[in-house]
Structure formats: structure tokens, C-alpha cells
Amino acid sequence: MTSTTDLTAPPAGGFASVHLDEAAPGRAALEAAGIRVAAIDGAAAGSKQDLMSALSEAMELPDWFGGNWDALDESLRDLSWLDAAGHVLVIEGGEVLWRRQPDLAGTLVSVWTTAASDWAAKGVPFHLVFVR
């Protein structure tokens, strides 16, 4: 289980930035700590395009975002257009995403953990929370 305290601190490394929880973290407490919280519905991601569209909207990715894994990697490593002390992406229906689209979920985790390592080196909280 994840606590708000965990999400306000930088992860110890890439995979330490990925969490599975029964419920979404407390948004108000995170935002009070300066953490930007974005959320998507993993159950609605029936394709890579669906997932990329949801991520683009929720993470407020720039217009140049190309909707592919390389562009997501570049975007997640930058995020300079967002004024936040850290970032948390919550994927509601995370278990459904893993069951229906395991390759998409796995690639997302791979891209996320690479970016998370960069953010951790800068001391910035950067977490991905899959909510059952």
C-alpha cells in the first residue's frame, strides 16, 4: 500500500517509483505538498492510442507529443511546462489495464521507471500508482 508521505518524497530509484494500491492516494494532501496529481482510467485504454491520448491529456503533454513511446519518454523526462514540486500519475482500473493490455502496461512502466531514475537523481518525487 502507498501512503501520501511516500509519494511526496523522491523514489529511491526507477522501480521504487511504481506502486499498486487498493485506493487512489489523497489528492488534496499531495497537492498541498506541491505535487501535481494526474489520473487516467486504465480500464478505458483499449489500445496504445487510447493510452497515449489519456496520458497526453492528464499529464498536459506539449503539442509536439507524438503519441509514441519515444515521445512519452522525452516528455516525462522534461515536464518543464508544469509548475510542480513533483508528479504522481494515478491509473484507476490499473488491474484491468494489466489484465487486458499487459504489453502496454509493461512498456509504460519501463518508460516511467527510466524517467523516474532521472527525477530521483534531481530529488524530485515522481510516482506511478496503479489502483486496482
User: Could you give the residue ranges of the DSSP H alpha helices within the chain?
Assistant: 4-7, 27-32, 48-58, 69-78, 94-100, 102-121
- Which of the residue ranges 6-15, 26-35, 41-50, 72-81 would you say has the lowest mean pLDDT? 6-15
pLDDT digits (tens, 9 = 90+) for 42-77: 999 999 999 999 999 999 999 999 999 999 999 999
Q: What is the model's pLDDT at position 15?
A: 87
Angle between helix 48-58 and 102-121 (nearest 10): 30
Q: Check whether 132 has a pLDDT greater than 50.
A: yes
Domain residue ranges in the chain: 4-131
Fold of the domain built from segment(s) 4-131 = Barnase; Chain D (3.30.370)
pLDDT digits (tens, 9 = 90+) for 98-120: 999 999 999 999 999 999 999 99
Q: What is the model's pLDDT at position 17?
A: 95
Q: What is the model's pLDDT at position 1?
A: 46
Q: What is the model's pLDDT at position 2?
A: 56
Q: What is the model's pLDDT at position 124?
A: 97
Contacts of 83 (CB under 8 A, 6+ apart): none
